[in-house]
Each structure stands twice: as structure tokens, then as C-alpha cells.
Amino acid sequence: MLTTDRAVERLTENHTVLLNGAEYECTALLTQLREAIASSAGVGGGSEGGGLMNLAALTLWDNIDGVARGWQQTFWAGHRGELAQVIRRLPRLIQAAHVLNEIDDALRGRLDALFATWVTQIEDLFDPPRVQELTAPCPTCGERYHQKVTTDERGAVIETVRMAAVIIPLKRGRALVAECRSCGMQWGTERDLSALAAGMGIEVDVAALQKLLTISS
């Protein structure tokens, strides 16, 4: 998993990434997200795909913005500033709150994990991973399926898709992590994945999935 510092860098600054042994210069992920919102907003009415990208990018931006500003305000730092500034400031606020015993170790860990999660969400918006679906119920929340509802800018439902609740996203260079779309639970080690399989009453071939990661784009 990305360190908090590296995740913040990728979110807020131009940065270098290593892929297949080569280095690539990348624009800050928040900048990419903002540009996706702006560019697809200007697409003509005949491009439904552009509109959906705009809506997905805008929804993700609003989610990140709301969570980041909400925690900044919780730590008595107000809610103003550009989103990139808020995200750069937030790790220091989290650390200070932990030192002052305003948050415990568990909450500190969840808050620190937000930054890497945002990196993953933005990258997956532009380059979705392959998904291995596990069709047994989640052992944590009991849900077998998750409803994905797509709405337009007025809130009207465009599409509803039923999909497996528990999935394993497969993407080159990413750790093998199962997650539940319904409750948000994650299983990120081989032992966790084995426990997940046992809890679901299925078999998960971790070695085979690791091989798939090497061929996933």
C-alpha cells in the first residue's frame, strides 16, 4: 500500500510512476479528475459516454472533497481552501489529533488509509481494473449482491445493475485485496483471503490470482 506521503504527492503534485520497468511523468490525480469534469462537461449532447464520465468524476470529486473538508473541520481547522491544499494539510491534522489522544490508533489507521484509497479510486475511474466476483454472501454483512445505481444530473435513475457484493480487483502493480461493495470490508493478506474463502464456503486460489495480476493491464 502507498504511504500517506506518497499518496498525497500523487493526489496533489505532478509525479513519476514506475510501470513495467519504465518511468512516466504524471499530472496530479486531482488535476486529472478536475480536467475530466471540465472536458466532459463540454461534450455535446450526442456523447452519452462523455456525460457518464463527467458524472462519475464529479461524484468522486464531491465525495473526496466532502470527506477531506469534513475531517479538517472536525480537527478545528475550518473547511476553506483548494481541495489540494486541504489534502496536504490533513495528514498533519490527523497526526496532531492522535498525539493529543483526540483519536485512537484504529481511527488514525482508517484516516491514514483514506489517501491511498482516493488514489485508487481516481486511477480506477480512468483505468478500471479487471474484477473477479465472488458470488457467495459477504461473511461480514451477509450481502450476496450489491446494487449499482447510475443517476443523471437531476437525480433520475439511468441504470440499475446487480453485481456480486464481494470482489477482487485485478490490476498490474496493485496488491491483491478483496473488498465488499456493500459494507466496505477488505481482506488484504493471504491469510485474510483464506479466512474470507472459509467464511464464504468457497475456494479462492490466491496463487492463480497473483498470476492474473501479472497479465492484467
Grid cell 502493480 — which residue? 173
pLDDT tens digits along 177-212: 899 999 989 898 888 988 999 999 988 777 777 776
Nearest to 10 by CA among 32, 40, 39: 32
Please tell me the chain's helix, strand, coil percentages from 3-state DSSP, rounded to the nearest 5: 50, 20, 30
Radius of gyration of the chain (CA): 19
Handedness of CA 189, 194, 197, 203 (dihedral sign): positive
pLDDT tens digits along 67-123: 999 999 999 887 788 999 999 999 999 999 999 999 999 999 999 999 999 999 999
Run of H or E residues at 29? helix 29-41
Instruction: At 45, give phi and psi (nearest 5°).
Output: -60, -15
74 DSSP 8-state letter: H
Q: Per-residue confidence at 39, pLDDT binned at 50, 70, 90?
A: confident
Grid cell 504527492 — which residue? 9
Helices vs strands, H then E, count in the chain: 7, 8
Domain boundaries, the chain: 4-126, 130-215
Alpha carbon distances (Å) from 107 to 112, 115, 131? 8, 14, 29
- What's the predicted TM-score (pTM) here? 0.74
Run of H or E residues at 131? strand 130-134
Run of H or E residues at 151? strand 145-151
Instruction: At 141, give phi and psi (nearest 5°).
Output: -105, -10
Other beta carbons within 10 Å of 59: 14
Give the per-residue pLDDT at 46.
43
Q: Per-residue confidence at 47, pLDDT binned at 50, 70, 90?
A: very low
Other beta carbons within 10 Å of 85: 13
1 DSSP 8-state letter: -
Q: Per-residue confidence at 140, pLDDT binned at 50, 70, 90?
A: very high
CA dihedral 26, 28, 32, 37 (to 10 degrees): 180
Alpha carbon distances (Å) from 151 to 33, 128, 213, 214? 19, 20, 32, 35
